[in-house]
């Protein structure tokens, strides 16, 4: 039994805990199908984005819903369309095709919620903002009973994009004049970093440059708290929120003095600021060189033009190792600032030594910090008639608890989380998510015609051997799975090819392991052992 004192402490803890939880409002809306009410569907408004319960929708419509709590994946059918999604994952598969969500699926209580806009855009379900009802087909003329109004989700930040669904104001009459800054989001692309300020209303604002800092003044805007967001993607260092005389002042630390663009969107209200890379950044510099010295000494620039990489070792079979990212592309960045491009290069150099010990010839797409386009990497392997292609990467997730190793090969996506990894690794090919999605979608169509290709089958066998070796190697982290997805870095390889995500750099514990030279050697040794098992079976 708890003592009175212990019970009081426990009660105070619970009170504080629930006070700190993000605020959300919920309600039910009727679902009408051809004039007949099928049930009430739970909706949740969270950070001014409306979410709907797909499970309740499906059950009201007579479809199927499956959820795997082990990995957070869920699937359902509405009409004749199949949906595959994952909790905290911005990617979905709809009838096998890539779809990006405005916001992540969430679990609230014992229910899963997805952005309502995602459902409206991919099904026959519609929303009537006046009658506050979801419907398919004919809508009855009689008004539905009055219910609490809802605010509907916005679209991806784009100057030319507006929500397909009319928004309904949730701000009470007494607070209409108050403008609040609810959160800041960011996204790192190849040629720019996008910072999004989510607001209750579009305010007056000013943007100015002060040395290596962009200063944004949001007039008459109240920030919930002062805080600093660490970005460190090679273009933007950090974003600092400060309260200043009734306004909110935001300082954005940048590398050098890059150009920028800004615009506002109304539905939902937000200010979007893009920090752009200068055109001269297409010349790649040695890591650690300051921008000023790059301009003065062009001899330190490294242009990716290794026509024939150096081959080391002896043996009949040649393995091409591809350390991911490099040069101006740091890859994913861990919470302590660890850069993916540095870690995978070190692991790849250890992997090279291990494979040479096993009697193989080895070449590397890069053995220093240079940038290479994705398509150039497999072209090197093809020109050199390599027998295998290994691309080494670190995984990343919006959730710091995501953990473990994964092995991928080029094929139609296994599920939405595999598709999300491919989209992140493919981000280098385009300016933004829409361009990446379009090109990756094109790759999926090509793969549909390649599924019987022997190379894909051999890549699957190679992935299994590497998976078995890593699983039995006591790495100290789970080796989660083998999966398939359309990676541009594997496109065009005429030999068996896999991509190894050695660990999650976004997980603080795994980031420490990735920085350990002994762990780097161990994972390299296990990958080499798996490669040897596969190649030995061919002899």
- 74 and 222 in a single domain? The answer is no
Whether residue 150 lies inside any domain: the answer is: no
CB 393 within 8 A of CB 406: no
- 215 and 75 in a single domain? The answer is no
- 355 and 486 in a single domain? The answer is yes
Q: Which residues of 142-181 are buried (b: 16+ CB within 10 A; e: fewer)?
A: eebeeeeebbbbbbebeeeeebebebeeeeeeeeeeebbb
CA distance 396 to 333: 8
* Residue of 484, 323, 482, 511 whose CA lies nearest to 403: 511
- 489 and 370 in a single domain? The answer is yes
Which domain, by its residues, includes 502? Answer: 303-538
Return the pLDDT at 372.
86
CB 496 within 8 A of CB 388: yes
Whether residue 157 lies inside any domain: the answer is: no
- 449 and 397 in a single domain? The answer is yes
- 441 and 346 in a single domain? The answer is yes
- CATH number of the domain encompassing residue 41: 3.30.457.10
Backbone angles phi, psi at 287, to 5 degrees: -60, 140
- 390 and 479 in a single domain? The answer is yes
Cβ burial of 183 (10 Å; 0-12, 13-18, 19+) is: middle
Q: Which residues of 75-86 are buried (b: 16+ CB within 10 A; e: fewer)?
A: bbebeeeebbbb
- 264 and 336 in a single domain? The answer is no
CA distance 285 to 291: 9
Which two tokens mark 362?
Answer: 């080895």
Return the pLDDT at 90.
62
CA distance 376 to 302: 16
Whether residue 235 lies inside any domain: the answer is: yes
Q: What is the DSSP letter of 451?
A: T
Which two tokens mark 89?
Answer: 């994952």
pTM: 0.46
Domain end call among 106, 136, 166: 136
Q: What is the DSSP letter of 370?
A: -
pLDDT in tens, 201-239: 889 999 988 888 999 999 999 887 788 877 777 788 888
- CATH number of the domain encompassing residue 438: 3.40.630.40
Return the pLDDT at 26.
63
Whether residue 394 lies inside any domain: the answer is: yes
Return the pLDDT at 482.
83
3-state secondary structure of 57: helix
If one counts the domains in the chain, the total is: 3
Residue with tokens 């997730």: 397
Low-confidence ranges of the chain (pLDDT < 50): 1-2, 7-23, 143-176, 280-306, 412-414, 428-432, 445-454
CA distance 389 to 489: 10
Which two tokens mark 530?
Answer: 């798996």
Sequential DSSP letters for 149-198 = --------S-TT---SS-------GGGTT-EEEEEEEEEE-SSEEEEEEE
Which two tokens mark 445?
Answer: 């169509």
CA distance 64 to 388: 42
CA distance 108 to 22: 11
């Amino acid at each position: 039994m708890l003592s009175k004192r212990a019970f009081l402490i426990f009660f105070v803890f619970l009170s504080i805990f629930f006070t700190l939880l993000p605020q959300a409002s919920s309600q039910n809306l009727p679902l009408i199908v051809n004039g007949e009410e099928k049930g009430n569907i739970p909706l949740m408004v969270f950070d001014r984005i409306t979410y709907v319960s797909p499970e309740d929708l499906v059950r009201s419509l007579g479809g199927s819903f499956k959820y795997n709590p082990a990995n957070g994946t869920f699937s359902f059918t509405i009409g004749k369309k199949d949906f595959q999604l994952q909790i905290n994952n911005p990617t979905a598969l709809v009838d096998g095709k890539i779809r990006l969500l405005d916001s992540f699926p969430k679990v609230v209580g014992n229910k899963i919620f997805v952005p309502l806009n995602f459902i409206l855009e991919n099904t026959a379900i519609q929303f009537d903002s006046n009658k506050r009802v979801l419907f398919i087909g004919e809508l009855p003329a009689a008004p539905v009973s009055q219910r609490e109004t809802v605010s509907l989700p916005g679209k991806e930040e784009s100057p030319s994009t507006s929500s397909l669904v009319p928004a309904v104001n949730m701000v009470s009459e007494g607070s209409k004049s108050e403008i609040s800054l609810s959160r800041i989001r960011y996204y790192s692309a190849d040629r720019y970093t996008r910072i999004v300020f989510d607001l209750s209303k579009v305010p007056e604002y000013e943007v100015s440059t002060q040395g290596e800092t962009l200063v944004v003044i949001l007039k008459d805007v109240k920030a919930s708290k002062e805080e600093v967001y660490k970005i460190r993607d090679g273009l933007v260092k950090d974003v600092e929120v400060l309260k200043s005389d009734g306004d909110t002042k935001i300082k954005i630390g940048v590398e050098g003095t890059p150009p920028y663009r800004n615009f506002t969107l109304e539905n939902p209200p937000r200010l979007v600021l893009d920090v752009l890379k200068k055109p001269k950044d297409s010349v790649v510099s040695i890591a650690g060189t300051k921008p000023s010295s790059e301009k003065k000494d062009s001899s330190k620039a490294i242009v990716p033009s290794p026509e024939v990489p150096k081959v080391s070792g002896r043996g009949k079979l040649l393995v091409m190792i591809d350390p991911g990212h490099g040069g101006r592309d740091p890859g994913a960045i861990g919470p302590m600032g660890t850069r993916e491009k540095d870690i995978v290069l070190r692991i790849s150099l250890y992997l090279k030594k291990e494979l040479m010990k096993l009697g193989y010839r080895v070449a590397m797409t890069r053995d220093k910090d240079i940038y290479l386009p994705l398509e150039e990497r497999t072209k090197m392997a093809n020109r050199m008639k390599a027998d295998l292609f290994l691309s080494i990467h670190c995984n990343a997730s919006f959730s710091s608890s995501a953990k473990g190793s994964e092995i991928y090969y080029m094929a139609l996506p296994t599920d939405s989380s595999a598709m999300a990894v491919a989209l992140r690794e493919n981000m280098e090919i385009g300016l933004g998510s829409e361009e990446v999605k379009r090109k990756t979608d094109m790759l999926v169509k090509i793969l549909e015609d390649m599924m019987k290709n022997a190379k894909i089958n051999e890549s699957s066998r190679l992935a299994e051997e590497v998976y078995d070796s890593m699983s039995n190697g006591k790495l100290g982290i789970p080796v989660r799975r083998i999966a398939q997805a359309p990676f541009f870095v594997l496109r065009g390889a005429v030999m068996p090819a896999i991509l190894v995500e050695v660990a999650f750099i976004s997980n603080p514990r795994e980031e420490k392991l990735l920085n350990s030279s002994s762990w780097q050697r161990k994972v390299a040794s296990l990958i080499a052992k798996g490669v040897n098992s596969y190649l030995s079976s061919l002899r």
